[in-house]
Amino acid sequence: MDREEMLKTLSELDFIAVDLGLFLNTHPDNSEAIIAYNQVIAAADAVRMRYEEAYGPLCSFRSYAANTQDWQWKDNPWPWQQAANFSLAGKECR
C-alpha cells in the first residue's frame, strides 16, 4: 500500500470509528456494534503505525512518535495543502 492508499484507508477507518461511536452513544448495549468498533479501532491503529513507520508521524502528540530525533510531523504536508489530500474525482462510492 502506498502513501496515498494508506491515508485514504486511514480516513475511511477513522470515519467508520466516529460513526460507530455515535451509534454506540445511543445503543450502548449493542454487542455487535461494540465488536465492530473495536475491530475498526485496531485496524486504524495498525494502518496508522505502518504509515508512521514509513513516512513519519501524522501528528505531534503520538506517544510512539516520541522517540524521533526531529519533529518530523512538521515536514509532512499540512491539511490545507493539496499533497495532503487525495482526490475522489471519478471514483465510485462503495
Distance CA 47, CA 16 (A): 14
Q: How confident is the model at residue 90 (pLDDT cuts 50, 70, 90)?
A: low
Q: Are 17 and 44 in contact (CB under 8 A)?
A: yes
Report the range of poorest mean pLDDT among 36-40, 49-53, 67-71.
67-71
**CB 6, CB 51: distance < 8 Å:** yes
Cβ burial, residue 87 (10 Å; 0-12/13-18/19+)? exposed
pLDDT in tens, 66-85: 455 555 556 677 777 777 77
- Separation between Cα atoms, residue 54 and residue 52, nearest integer Å: 5
Closest CA to 84 of 53, 61, 51: 51
Residue 52 has what pLDDT? 87
Judge contact between 13 and 45, C-beta under 8 A.
Answer: no
Q: Is the pLDDT of residue 61 over 80?
A: no
pTM higher than 0.85 = no
